[in-house]
Structure 1
């Protein structure tokens, strides 16, 4: 139970919010009826009185009760022309938030992002610990604050064991005194397993190092992927079974920076300093006597090698063809493939049967030479063997050890955390590290997310949201199918298959029911342990536990009911190989969704997100799989040609969007997200029209009576993407993120949307009503 103090804080938050709302609405609309302000005050007083009689509940439930009383106790307000005004608490607060976000001095037909979000940006400077500040980030911080309350509580025998395990993890992470006493020992002990980090040693014997042993250990213990990415998932051409995938490696920096280091001198200088200072910290801790000159020379050789490694990887824009990435081979055939590379040394030689078996032995799985695996980048394997063959063992060892230090150093001393932050401040533009409590809560959530998610759902989620969102999904699917019916560029046979795929799409909303069952939650995490004094070891134990759990799915049947994410996360997902959409509890809150809000706001919010995820099943990659998630070309040649022409429109359009530095959005790598944004918006608007046809016109929002319900729909959509980024973060997003920057997630879809142009009376050819608009769905 929450304390009385928390309850009073909740009610005060409600009261404070309402007072602010009434001031904003009154300021915005000088002619606002006095009765509206009376209603607002009455609701606030009800809230204050309730503080003495209600049981502890979330703010959302308090607001819901107030709205009920308001609806039952006061007649609705009517405008001079006979239109109803919504006066519930939810409508008052929602109206205030929209008004606060808007810049009414901007022209909505010139720049709708500024019009909808200018006020929000002005009032929400980026916090020092952030490189961006968006609606998503605010919700994530609010969710983290709830998790902190849960994780700071004493262990409770009435809670499931994994919940208390999460608390132990949080406690160990928060105990910086003990972490400092332990020092770098857990990290240096790990490095010692592979012969120690050469540049930190006065003498080093290359015979003590084998890159295969080190990368296997990293994959087993921490899920890292150095040189090779090895994982198991559904076979994309037969999703009834799982298989092992072998892919190119992860990189420590964005590929484009490593490929052309001279193009980013400030970042590369900071990166070199980070490596150098980390090496010196470990050298000093071990007191090995390695010289600064030796470290400097090794750092230069190492990142020069890393640049060459980046060059043999395939860029993201060339990895969107699923068929090209699907290369099934027996392990023995992979062996022959890499053995065919002429070599001088043995640095690059790989015994694949041994390598894969060593990884999967964590789950007691043997991978024989007859195992069928899927290689995504066959040429990369050959190039890797050739590169490693000509690279000194010392350089390879320095690189692998550095990757361990970079990935795991943050679980050790403040010195290592400070070194990482100094580099990230250059890469992302942050000026202050995030609070330790935030870091620790997020780490626990990432490692034991179903346990923390169970408590989050218990404390902060209303079951009605799950029911209503499920109904909205059904409406969005219907809307998508009508758009398919209206598509003049599709033939009848392809339309039929598209509708069938939409119908077959499975959905996951809120949370998996089993996490509410204490026994089921304990069974899921059976074998996971943690202490309150060993943070580094806790992280290793949890990662190893999750890796083993994942490896075990290799030999099991496909479970199409399994949740692949936890509920305490602010995001939504489409999974191509399952043809499924997921909306965790964390995202089912304002501004995306709100119980008691007008439907235009919910359809403009979470409705467009639902539509976005549905459309992913039909974007440039989703279109390559069928209703079961199997790779299949179900398009007739003529319709596919039409599709590709329309998809190219999005590539060209978004490639012309530029940020302040002059960098262009990558229209190729962002095309899937851009298609989903555009399609999701159109589907949500159509679904909202279905809602109105079935339920009647909605009332207006107080203080925003000049806006029609349809205009509020579009304002609610744009409001989702209000946000601002540091210049550094924006550049990194352009280089690495498949999503377009926030501004273009508003400008792009709305300027392509004829319904928006009509509702806001934007003349043809204006920036928000393109003549050359792009439409797929």
Structure 2
């Protein structure tokens, strides 16, 4: 899944497979519209006030009026001089606008040519608040578009970042909170009632959760065979890795050593298959382990966090330095060994090279640190499926598993090594579930969080619990959100915009001289074959169908820790049941109230949840320039993912398939090399953006901008043609916005840029540069616009200015 925005910092969470509820990668805020009408000034003919004035009053009023006129003239002259780089509205637009009136609050006459509807005034106000007109847009368009927003939006206490996504997410959380506060009788389904109960179990921190303290975790550790850092029954003579992994991973859905799931087969996307990949690190990136000099504070904080959690679990262990800390250091050392054999993200962008299908018998031979046949046989027997050594699986990191075998053999060769292995496996369970314990456990994570992302948290409990409820019963929560937020209203216009952006993208395909005719034809077919899902799946508003989705999940009040255990087990079984079942191509991978969007290559599908179809991204009453600049570019972004360096490897049906001609592939790689070099040069906090790691997202940003802008130009031309045909009948959404000396073409680019206005802590920025597939927001704007000559034309940017470099990168 390629998401629009994956900036999403959370505490350690319980793991879950990629079913509909577990995939989300974005953030969210809603700006309310204003409903006041335009004000008209009228001159009264009865009882003239002028006649009642004294001579002195008349003289003073005349002088005051003259001063007012002079002031206005000087202001206009200064504004004109200051903004001489701005292009005025074209003559054809001026002629269309002059001398007309509408029934939506516009003033009439040649001097009154602006849109004064409530949506226009609201949009203009929002844009003005974000702008910094002291900055030349040709020198730094991000600062021009966003400095005002940044000044007015400091990062809230406890957060590592703040932006348009986060603000909208907070608003959506409030809607969900209000929905969850309803009495059960007002809820429409059993699933929604489960969501309410889960939320209340999370909020019950002052009672049951605090009283229980460490007890739920100690009980679980005892069931799992104990953790040597606590008095929970660990016995090395009874321990072995195979048994421990099967118990922890196949019963409780925890992580460790590797990741696996049942997912869509890349080479045959109509079926499900077992997929295995590298995994098992606690810290967000391998570099945190390997670059000790640069990340010593993080490793120290990680060590202290683990020591604190262990001591909270068992206060009877008083000799922390002598008993706990050495074992903690061994766990970190083992994870460091894992990090050393991890493949970096930039080396994992070629899906064809990563795909290796083999039988479990072959895997048993290549990576025999466990019996893979026995492991998966144990997992699937709980859903009545028989697994043999002939079962075909897909391995994305065979070298990692082979190297892991060497490390495991080394550790299994000594008593000390076996204890370290057992401690590591159990730590994967402990750190996943500590957020479900009392506040002192959650507080223990704050120092590590602080060094990782520059914030120690501190959000209100209800927000945390709303997010957790959305993670667990996301589509039940979405049903409430959809009903309260009238989420079906934007769908028709959203569908229309997607169609227009798709057509613009296809039109551009015709002009690509680096693509051969046969590949171009296939690309056209793939673009036509991209399905789109908007708003929410219909079934969530049908109680019986929604209840079926969560049938078998037991949720009880006063059992927050146990609820999360049951959620893990429920998600595991739901995933296991998919093996050998046909793929549901209409299944959602993101909850509808999420503020994000995504493309799925195996489904060849783009999805735009209701959560993002709101201001400031989208409004059915907005001028078309703003909708296409914000939401249109987002739609083009996701569509372009179908043709980025990874998405292009999948054909129209979503199968990994070499459908491009070799010569076209080589020319494509030459084109993408330009992007790699361009983004490699961008620097924040003395750290360079990784042009390879961010390549797919950068291509999507650039391609989405081009497609959406050309879609806007086509819409504009059609409206002007209609004007001419209808005798210059005014088009409301083409009237300029009040208070802004900007054409709608310029507003398109401002709307695009202001989507990415954000503030991020230094620590979070460093983490994103190292781990995220997206370029930091500032350079998502600058990089895309500086490659787009139409932007420079509209703002009159001279050649070789920062925003109009001579060398430009273009693929789609």
Give 1:235's match in structure 2, choosing from 257, 260, 265: 265
Deviates more, 1:291-300 or 1:725-734: 291-300
DSSP 3-state at the match of 2:489:
helix
Give the drift of 1:209: 3.0
Please give the per-residue CA displacement for 1:690-738, whole angstroms capped at 9, x wherever unaligned.
2122233643443344201100000000000000100000000011110
The residue aligned with 2:666 is 641
Does 1:693 find its partner at 2:724? no
Matched residues in 2 for 1:332 and 1:218: separation? 23
Residues 9-48 of structure 1: pairs in structure 2 closer than 5 A:
none
Give 2:462's match in structure 1, choosing from 437, 452, 459: 437
Matched residues in 2 for 1:438 and 1:755: separation? 43
Residues 60-71 of structure 1: pairs in structure 2 closer than 5 A:
none
The residue aligned with 1:665 is 689
The residue aligned with 1:174 is 203
Answer 1 or 2: which has greater helix percent: 1
Matched residues in 1 for 2:174 and 2:790: separation? 39
Q: Report the CA distance shift for 1:580/1:525 in structure 2 as closer, same or farther (over 3 A).
A: same
Q: Report the CA distance shift for 1:690/1:16 in structure 2 as closer, same or farther (over 3 A).
A: closer
Residues 401-416 of structure 1: pairs in structure 2 closer than 5 A:
401-416=426-441
Computed over aligned residues only, the root mean square deviation of the Cα atoms, in angstroms, reads: 2.3
The residue aligned with 1:677 is 701
Please give the per-residue CA displacement for 1:418-471, whole angstroms capped at 9, x wherever unaligned.
011221011111144211111100010111111100110111134231111111
Q: Report the CA distance shift for 1:408/1:699 in structure 2 as closer, same or farther (over 3 A).
A: same
Give the drift of 1:494: 1.0
Please give the per-residue CA displacement for 1:63-104, whole angstroms capped at 9, x wherever unaligned.
xxxxxxx97463455664x8x422221111111000000000
Matched residues in 2 for 1:618 and 1:411: separation? 41
Residues 261-340 of structure 1: pairs in structure 2 closer than 5 A:
261-284=292-315, 287=316, 291-339=320-368
TM value normalised by structure 2: 0.84
Give 1:139's match in structure 2, choosing from 168, 173, 184: 168
Contact 1:201-1:290 within 8 A present in 2 as well: no
Give the drift of 1:203: 8.3
Matched residues in 2 for 1:425 and 1:693: separation? 52
Contact 1:506-1:579 within 8 A present in 2 as well: yes
The residue aligned with 2:376 is 356
The residue aligned with 1:760 is 795
Matched residues in 2 for 1:338 and 1:14: separation? 59
Give the drift of 1:358: 2.1
Q: Report the CA distance shift for 1:217/1:760 in structure 2 as closer, same or farther (over 3 A).
A: farther
Matched residues in 1 for 2:73 and 2:175: separation? 40
Please give the per-residue CA displacement for 1:6-38, whole angstroms capped at 9, x wherever unaligned.
xxxxxx97669999xxxxxxxxx96899xxxxx
Deviates more, 1:613-622 or 1:194-203: 194-203
Give the drift of 1:323: 1.3
Give 1:473's match in structure 2, choosing from 498, 517, 520: 498
Does 1:617 find its partner at 2:645? no
Higher relative contact order, chain-length normalized (CA < 8 Å, sep 6+): 2
Matched residues in 2 for 1:558 and 1:160: separation? 26
DSSP 3-state at the match of 2:619:
coil
Residues 117-516 of structure 1: pairs in structure 2 closer than 5 A:
117-156=146-185, 158-176=187-205, 177-201=207-231, 204-220=234-250, 223-253=253-283, 254-284=285-315, 287=316, 291-339=320-368, 349-391=369-411, 392-516=417-541
Matched residues in 2 for 1:31 and 1:502: separation? 53
Does 1:105 find its partner at 2:140? no
Contact 1:202-1:291 within 8 A present in 2 as well: no
Matched residues in 2 for 1:203 and 1:451: separation? 40
Does 1:740 find its partner at 2:770? no
Matched residues in 1 for 2:400 and 2:104: separation? 70
Give the drift of 1:289: 5.6
Please give the per-residue CA displacement for 1:567-596, whole angstroms capped at 9, x wherever unaligned.
011110000111100000001001110121
Contact 2:266-2:654 within 8 A present in 1 as well: yes
DSSP 3-state at the match of 2:793:
helix
The residue aligned with 2:600 is 575
The residue aligned with 2:557 is 532
DSSP 3-state at the match of 1:427:
helix
Contact 2:269-2:602 within 8 A present in 1 as well: yes
Matched residues in 1 for 2:164 and 2:36: separation? 18
Contact 1:700-1:708 within 8 A present in 2 as well: no
Q: Report the CA distance shift for 1:293/1:599 in structure 2 as closer, same or farther (over 3 A).
A: same
Contact 2:194-2:555 within 8 A present in 1 as well: yes
The residue aligned with 2:759 is 724
The residue aligned with 1:712 is 747
Matched residues in 1 for 2:176 and 2:127: separation? 28
Matched residues in 1 for 2:694 and 2:622: separation? 32
Q: Report the CA distance shift for 1:402/1:578 in structure 2 as closer, same or farther (over 3 A).
A: same
DSSP 3-state at the match of 1:617:
helix
Q: Report the CA distance shift for 1:330/1:753 in structure 2 as closer, same or farther (over 3 A).
A: same
Please give the per-residue CA displacement for 1:183-234, whole angstroms capped at 9, x wherever unaligned.
1122122222232221224985213433334433443455433101111111
TM value normalised by structure 1: 0.88
Please give the per-residue CA displacement for 1:153-211, whole angstroms capped at 9, x wherever unaligned.
22126510010100000000000021011211221222222322212249852134333
Give the drift of 1:619: 0.3
Contact 1:71-1:88 within 8 A present in 2 as well: no
Q: Report the CA distance shift for 1:203/1:548 in structure 2 as closer, same or farther (over 3 A).
A: closer
Matched residues in 1 for 2:775 and 2:543: separation? 41
Does 1:773 find its partner at 2:808? yes
Matched residues in 1 for 2:108 and 2:380: separation? 66
Matched residues in 2 for 1:682 and 1:390: separation? 54
Give 1:566's match in structure 2, choosing from 578, 585, 591: 591
